[in-house]
Structures are given as structure tokens and as C-alpha cells.
């Protein structure tokens, strides 16, 4: 199968005809070939989007929302097929793939609801016989750059608010997961979205991403990916005076206090550390544990880690799928070596799994390090794989300090049965998402998603906050006095 761009409601070959193979990370098998577009394709898509957006902005928001209801319905109808493609292409286990598609469906219906809200504000004017209000207005053409780890959900967090708010978009999905974008584009087409409102351009970040950021008609760039790339996007975006919304890395921790329900904590750690083979921005990669229960927590955790089945995610009994590609496998292993050199103690895992039947895919053993110190590289840098570092602390305050002592700020979690500690923690943990008595993953689409410090730049995906990225405030004053009324001058009582 050859995946071509979707531009102006048509399936179009890119200007140059280079294709790159798409591989199944579980088997190494080639699934498809994807078009590697150029700046010329971005130009064509931006032109189509600009024309389409002018009309789209005039469609009333509740009508724009009707397309999202239809998109949601089609995704629901196609849920199992979408989940199967997702597992084959990205590797996450089928149960999680179904969950991710569900996240997209939820986003469709939630954002469709915004079509009938999209509240503005009315505000008293300082002048008599004058009415003041602020309304959300569409921005124009927006650019979406999405990662491979959540190829459906993250795309919906960005594209659905863009649609309902009256923008047209140009979407560059990750080169590792174009099939999901292709499936979504088919759904946009089937839902009858007017040509040019949704455009998908496949290709590399260096070529297509750069062209999008440099394009004068693309007013917003919403990016999810690494902090390193995000910084470059922000720099180029700044130069071009674009609004840039960034969601980047994480180094998320689960804190386990000495009054925690340990079995509950172990289940939360397992799910958030090894789900998606640790390849979530929200994945738990540090466990900060009170010294009083460290040995016991470690014992219970190890018992369960050793039972995790690793394999092809299409097998319903498998709990941990492959990682995305060989490069990721090498990166994960290099961190394990760094951890050992730094003096951390490897409790389990720490190896590439390549005995048959796993020899064709990219599998890494679920790994636990202990006796990790907070400033070691394995406790500071994002590994994006199934590797957990256990760090011992002696107090609640120390736990909070260790949690906050990284450059990232996406998600954090604390297990405690003390209600006072729980409330203090939700205030003092300096991440964009905090969980009490639950792991670090599992964000729901109607709440803002994003993080502080090196994770973001103040914007949020998802939730009603996403509308702030894709709309601009317009302040409207209606003077019904029939005479000149001067603000700041004619307002004495």
C-alpha cells in the first residue's frame, strides 16, 4: 500500500515521489510505504487550506460540530479496525489501542459539544449605553505536528478543536505512524468535511515540519514531540511570530509513602511504567519510595514485573509490546548501561529480547533499577522505554523535592492514605497533571493536558483549554448612545 497526501479533499501524490517503508515493530514486516513530501506540497496544502478556511469560518459553530459528531460516529463504527491498524503500526497492545481509539471518539463528541457552547463573555462597559463582549474567533490555517506514540488520540486533541473553532489545518503525522493518519483522513473524507479544511501531508520534520513553521499563512503550530525538537519549533515559530503550542517530554514519578496501600501502588506503577512499553510522555519512569517500605514495595513489584508477558500486541494475552524501532531499542539499552556505570543496581530486565519468536521485532525486557540517586542521568533524562528507577527518600518533603527536581513537569502521582498529605501534594507537585492514589497515566480528554518547565510552554492540549490555542479573543463594543462617548474621558459619575 502506498500512502499519499490528502490535500483539498483529494488523494494527491507529492511533488517528488520518494516513499519510505512503514514497518511493524512487532515483526519487522513492511506494512506500507509513505510519501516523503517537500515544501512544495506544504505550499499547495496551505493554499487550499487558506481558501477553504474563509468559508469554513462562516459556517456556524454548531454546524461545524455536526461534522465532528459524524467523525466520532464513524470512528466508533470502525473502532476495532482502527485499533488493529494502530497495534500493527505502532506496537502498543491491542487493549491499549482500543483505549486510544476510544480517547479519540471521546474527543470528537466532547469537542462537538463545544460547538454549542464556545462561550465568550459579556462585560459591563464603563460608558452608559454601550455594550461590551468578547468572543472566540477562528485564527485561520493551523499546523499540527504529531508523534508516533499516540497517533490517534493526540491528533484528535489538536484537529478537533481546530475544526470546531473554524480553522483549516495542515497535519504532519510522524513518519513512523502514517497509516493511522491515512485512516483518519479517510474518516474526514467520509464525514463530508469540506475540501481543504483537513489536509494531511506526510514527510519528515526537517522538510515538511520546517516548511510549515516557515509558512506565512500558517498562524499556529501545535506540536507534540521531544523537548529538543520543540525548542527548535519554538525558535523558528518565534522568528515567524506564530503562536506555538508545545507538549514535550516527561520524567514522571510515582511517590509511595509509608502509609500507602502497597498492592494498589504496585498495580499503578506497573500500568503506568510498562503500558505502551513505557513510550508515553506520561509514563512513570521514577518511583520515589519512603525508606520504611522500600524493600517490601520492591519485592512486590519485582514479583509482578517478572510475570509481564512481552510480545506482539495483537496477542490478547501480551502485556508489553515492542518499542517503535531499532533506534529506540538502542537508546533504551544505552541508558541501562549508563545506569550501571552510575552505580545503580539492576534488579530485573536490562536486555534486548531477541530469542524466537521475538527475534524479528524490537523488544526490550521490563527493567527495574534500584538504589538510584536523584541526580543520576537515568533519574533525570527521558528514556521513553520500559525502564523504572527506584529512589529512596526519608520524608514527604524530600519526596516532593525529588519529584520536582527534574527539568520536566508533565505528570506525577502519590500513593498515601493521609488526606492532608494528598492535598499538600496536589498543591506542591509542580507538574501539569497530578494523580492521588493512581499512576501517572490515564488523562481524560475533557481536562487540560500538558505540563510545566521543559514539558511545555504554557499552552494545553485537550479540554476546553485547547480552544485557547485555536482561537483568538475578539473584543466587541457596541455603542447604542447615538453620540460620541469617549472611553477613559466621558465616564465621570
Task: Find the DSSP H helices in 191-325.
Answer: 210-214, 227-239, 262-274, 294-305
Which residue from 206, 264, 244 is spatially nearest to 38, judged by alpha carbons? 206
b or e along 425-459 (b: 16 or more beta carbons within 10 Å of the residue's beta carbon)?
beebbbbbbbbeebbbbbbebeebbbbbbbbbbeb
The helix (run of H) or strand (run of E) holding residue 86 is helix 79-90
The helix (run of H) or strand (run of E) holding residue 382 is none
**DSSP letter, residue 355:** S
Would you say 32 or 153 has its CB closer to ligand UN1? 153
CB of 238 to ligand UN1, least distance (A): 24
Would you say 42 or 83 has its CB closer to ligand UN1? 83
Of the listed 89, 207, 247, 382, which one is catalytic?
247
Tally Cβ neighbours within 10 Å of residue 377: 13
Distance in angstroms (rounded) separating the CA atoms of residues 219 and 171: 13
Would you say 118 or 328 has its CB closer to ligand UN1? 328
Strand pairing category for 252-256 and 284-290 = parallel
Residue pair 277/322 in contact (Cβ under 8 Å)? The answer is yes
The helix (run of H) or strand (run of E) holding residue 20 is strand 19-23
Question: Is 189 noted as a catalytic residue in this protein?
Answer: no
Distance in angstroms (rounded) separating the CA atoms of residues 370 and 373: 9
Q: Is 476 helix (H, G, I), strand (E, B) or coil?
A: strand
Residue pair 12/5 in contact (Cβ under 8 Å)? The answer is yes
CB of 449 to ligand UN1, least distance (A): 7
Strands, DSSP E only, in 36-188?
121-124, 130-138, 141-145, 168-172
Would you say 99 or 194 has its CB closer to ligand UN1? 99
Which residues bind to ligand UN1, rule: CB under 6 A? 103, 149-150, 153-154, 280-282, 441-443
b or e along 400-417 (b: 16 or more beta carbons within 10 Å of the residue's beta carbon)?
bebbbebebbbbbbbbbe
User: For the residues of 224-251, what is the DSSP string, one character each?
Assistant: ES-HHHHHHHHHHHHHTT-EEEEE----
Would you say 104 or 196 has its CB closer to ligand UN1? 104
Would you say 150 or 364 has its CB closer to ligand UN1? 150
CB of 157 to ligand UN1, least distance (A): 9
**DSSP letter, residue 291:** G
Would you say 396 or 435 has its CB closer to ligand UN1? 435
CB of 95 to ligand UN1, least distance (A): 14
CB of 255 to ligand UN1, least distance (A): 18
Which residue from 493, 469, 467, 491 is spatially nearest to 481, judged by alpha carbons? 491
Would you say 48 or 328 has its CB closer to ligand UN1? 328
Q: Is 133 helix (H, G, I), strand (E, B) or coil?
A: strand
The helix (run of H) or strand (run of E) holding residue 395 is none
Would you say 27 or 279 has its CB closer to ligand UN1? 279
CB of 390 to ligand UN1, least distance (A): 21
CB of 378 to ligand UN1, least distance (A): 20
Burial class (CB in 10 A: 0-12, 13-18, 19+), 465: middle
Residue pair 172/143 in contact (Cβ under 8 Å)? The answer is yes
CB of 351 to ligand UN1, least distance (A): 25
CB of 441 to ligand UN1, least distance (A): 3
Q: Which residues contact 489 (CB under 8 A, 6 or more apart)?
A: none
Catalytic residues: 247
Amino acid at each position: 500500500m502506498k500512502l499519499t497526501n490528502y490535500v483539498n479533499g483529494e488523494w494527491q501524490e507529492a511533488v517528488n515521489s520518494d516513499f519510505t517503508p512503514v514497518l511493524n515493530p512487532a515483526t519487522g514486516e513492511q506494512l506500507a510505504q509513505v510519501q516523503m513530501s517537500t515544501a512544495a506540497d506544504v505550499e499547495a496544502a496551505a493554499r487550499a487550506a487558506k481558501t477553504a478556511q474563509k468559508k469554513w469560518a462562516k459556517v456556524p459553530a454548531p454546524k461545524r460540530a455536526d461534522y465532528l459528531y459524524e467523525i466520532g460516529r464513524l470512528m466508533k463504527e470502525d473502532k476495532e479496525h482502527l485499533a488493529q491498524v494502530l497495534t500493527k503500526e505502532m506496537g502498543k497492545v491491542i487493549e491499549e489501542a482500543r483505549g486510544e481509539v476510544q480517547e479519540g471518539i471521546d474527543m470528537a463528541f466532547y469537542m462537538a459539544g463545544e460547538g454549542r457552547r464556545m462561550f465568550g463573555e459579556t462585560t459591563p462597559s464603563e460608558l452608559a449605553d454601550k455594550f461590551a463582549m468578547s468572543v472566540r474567533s477562528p485564527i485561520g490555517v493551523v499546523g499540527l505536528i504529531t508523534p508516533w506514540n499516540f497517533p490517534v488520540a493526540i491528533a484528535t486533541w489538536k484537529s478537533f478543536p481546530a475544526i470546531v473553532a473554524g480553522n483549516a489545518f495542515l497535519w504532519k503525522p510522524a513518519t513512523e505512524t502514517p497509516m493511522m493518519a491515512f485512516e483518519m483522513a479517510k474518516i474526514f473524507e467520509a464525514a463530508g468535511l469540506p475540501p481543504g479544511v483537513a489536509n494531511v501531508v506526510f514527510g519528515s520534520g526537517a522538510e515538511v515540519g520546517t516548511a510549515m513553521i516557515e509558512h506565512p499563512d500558517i498562524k499556529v503550530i501545535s506540536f507534540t514531540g521531544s523537548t529538543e525538537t520543540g525548542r527548535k519549533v519554538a525558535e523558528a515559530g518565534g522568528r515567524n511570530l506564530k503562536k506555538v503550542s508545545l507538549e514535550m517530554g516527561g520524567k514522571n514519578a510515582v511517590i509511595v509513602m509509608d502509609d500507602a496501600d502497597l498492592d494498589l501502588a504496585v498495580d499503578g506503577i506497573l500500568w503506568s511504567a510498562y503500558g505502551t512499553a513505557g513510550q508515553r510522555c506520561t509514563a512513570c519512569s521514577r518511583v520515589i519510595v519512603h525508606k520504611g517500605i522500600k524493600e517490601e514495595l520492591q519485592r512486590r513489584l519485582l514479583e509482578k514485573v517478572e510475570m509481564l508477558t512481552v510480545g506482539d500486541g495483537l496477542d490478547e494475552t501480551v502485556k508489553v509490546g515492542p518499542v517503535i524501532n531499532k533506534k529506540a531499542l538502542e537508546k533504551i539499552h544505552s541508558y541501562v548501561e549508563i545506569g550501571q556505570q552510575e552505580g545503580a543496581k539492576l534488579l530485573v530486565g536490562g536486555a534486548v529480547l531477541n530469542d524466537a519468536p521475538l527475534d524479528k521485532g524490537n523488544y526490550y525486557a521490563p527493567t527495574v533499577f534500584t538504589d538510584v540517586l536523584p541526580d543520576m542521568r537515568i533519574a533525570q533524562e527521558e528514556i521513553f522505554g520500559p525502564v523504572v528507577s527506584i529512589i529512596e527518600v526519608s520524608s514527604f518533603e524530600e519526596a516532593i523535592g525529588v519529584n520536582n527536581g527534574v527539568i520536566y513537569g508533565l505528570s506525577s502521582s502519590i500513593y498515601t492514605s493521609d488526606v492532608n498529605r494528598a492535598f499538600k501534594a496536589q498543591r506542591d507537585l509542580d507538574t501539569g497533571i497530578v494523580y492521588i492514589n493512581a499512576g501517572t497515566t490515564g488523562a481524560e480528554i475533557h481536562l487540560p493536558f500538558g505540563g510545566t518547565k521543559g514539558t511545555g510552554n504554557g499552552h494545553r492540549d485537550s479540554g476546553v483549554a485547547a480552544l485557547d490555542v485555536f482561537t483568538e479573543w475578539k473584543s466587541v463594543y457596541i455603542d447604542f448612545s447615538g453620540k460620541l462617548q469617549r472611553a477613559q474621558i466621558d465616564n465621570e459619575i
